[in-house]
Amino acid sequence: MLAVRINAERLQVSLRRLAEVGATPGGGVTRLALSDEDKAGRDLVREWMAGAGLAVKVDDLGNMTGQRSGTEGGPPVLLGSHCDSVVRGGKYDGALGVMGALEVVRTLNDRGIQTRRPVAVVNWTNEEGVRFEPAMQCSGAVAGRFTREEVYGRTDRQGMRFEDELRRIGYLGSEAERPLPAAAYLELHIEQGPVLEAEGVPVGVVAGIVGITWLEVVMEGQADHAGPSPMHLRRDALAAAARVISGVERLAREQDESAVATVGRLALEPNVINTIPGKVTFSVDFRHPDRAVLETQVARLERLVAEVSRETGAAGVVRRFWTSEPTPFDPSVVAAVAGACDELGLPHRSLWSGAGHDAKYVAEACPAGMIFVRSRGGLSHCEAEESGAEDVAAGANVLLGAALRLAAGA
Ligand SMILES: [Zn+2]
């Protein structure tokens, strides 16, 4: 059977037009959630949804859905992502998933394809969490992770409330219009990492979203004059911390190729050139698809800190303060994505997402999955973010093929 294909040129035009909204001089976009730029982007999306014959609705969190009927009723196969961006972000993060979903619907229209289940396009509000923290707020609220009041009460740095800004831009709808329930959810997204490029593969079948745990380590020694203290009589907190930090890197390298560990933040006291550091506080970020491995990494870190404390005399304390469980995607959705790749004759590989996406929360409410498109240089959240037109088309074709499988197309 010959696979149906999207209109690659039309998809590029949509991406380019959306990227004009909030365009930055360096070739990226700034479209912060609930800003004037976000409103202008939403207006375009609404116009395009309506133009594709979709019934458009907006919920109480500003999530926008456009639905195409199936031959049967019931919950739709939901396709989408987000149109908000970070400051000086790229043209593809999020936008690709919404424009790709719209292109799928336009292609179904062009071909006169009737699906058994309805197919719907969604634009989730405030995925990035840059202006209003945390990230993935409105997919999270729909999946039951946050209450509406929690979301409404968030304020930006100027003290503007989420609810007021949502009303101001004209996208405060009603709870009855929420995108879920859905029969399944599919999100097309750029990889935001270097794996597909390194392996020369255009698309990735995403197995799930890794678990993350954040810890804070404090090493406390003794601040003292850098001159009179001989080396064997010091308790240098930074020298001790350095041993732990190189150990953190080793923990990930020795685990397996899925394990990553990062020390990204470090504070040093008193941070003076001629004083031995008395206290060092640093963060540790562990990520892995397997919860048990994360627990092992934490236990190993605790042992390492205890060992370094004993050997250096700098007392170490480990505090674990946040964990996000791994989210494996639904096997039926993952199989639909892989099947679509095979039907298109596309080389692909399975990989886990190291970053969070709306699909993480949506997966708690319905069967969900994701498709990754190769990112040039693995770059994202920057103006240089780029995916080649052929890869974008390949990803959108996989989205179409997988959606047809899940919606039981003709
Ligand atoms: Zn994104």
27, 100, 124: which is closest to 365 by C-alpha? 124
Instruction: Give CA 56 to chain center in angstroms.
Output: 25
**CA of 370 relative to ligand 1 center, distance in Å:** 12
171, 187, 143, 165: which is closest to 45 by C-alpha? 171
| Phi, psi of 242, rounded to the nearest 5 degrees | -60, -40
Predicted model pTM:
0.92
Residue 18 has pLDDT above 90, yes or no: yes
**CA of 328 relative to ligand 1 center, distance in Å:** 18
User: What integer best gives the mean pLDDT of the chain?
Assistant: 97
135: left (phi over 0), alpha (psi -120 to 50) or beta: beta
Helices 36-51 and 95-111: angle between axes, nearest 10 degrees: 10
**CA of 151 relative to ligand 1 center, distance in Å:** 19
pLDDT of the residue at 3: 84
- d(CA 210, CA 385) in angstroms, rounded, equals 22
Residue 410 has pLDDT above 70, yes or no: no
Residue 9 burial class via C-beta count within 10 angstroms: exposed 0-12, middle 13-18, buried 19 and up? exposed
Residue 208 has pLDDT above 60, yes or no: yes
pLDDT of the residue at 409: 61
**CA of 95 relative to ligand 1 center, distance in Å:** 8
> Which residues, 6+ apart, have CB-to-CB distance to 252 below 8 Å?
259, 260, 261, 286, 297
Instruction: Give CA 196 to chain center in angstroms.
Output: 17
Provide mean pLDDT across the span 42-68: 98
Two tokens at 345?
């004759």
110, 109, 185, 241: which is closest to 360 by C-alpha? 185
**CA of 183 relative to ligand 1 center, distance in Å:** 22
**CA of 196 relative to ligand 1 center, distance in Å:** 17
Return the exposure string of 270-288: e unless at least 16 CB atoms fall within 10 Å of the residue's CB, then b: eeeeeebbbbbbbebbbbb
**CA of 236 relative to ligand 1 center, distance in Å:** 42
Two tokens at 7?
């209109």
- d(CA 261, CA 248) in angstroms, rounded, equals 6
Residue 404 has pLDDT above 90, yes or no: yes
Residue 19 has pLDDT above 80, yes or no: yes
Mind listing the pLDDT tens digit for each residue in 139-198? 999 999 999 999 999 999 999 999 999 999 999 999 999 999 999 999 999 999 999 999
**CA of 360 relative to ligand 1 center, distance in Å:** 12
Mind listing the pLDDT tens digit for each residue in 61-108? 999 999 999 999 899 999 999 999 999 999 999 999 999 999 999 999
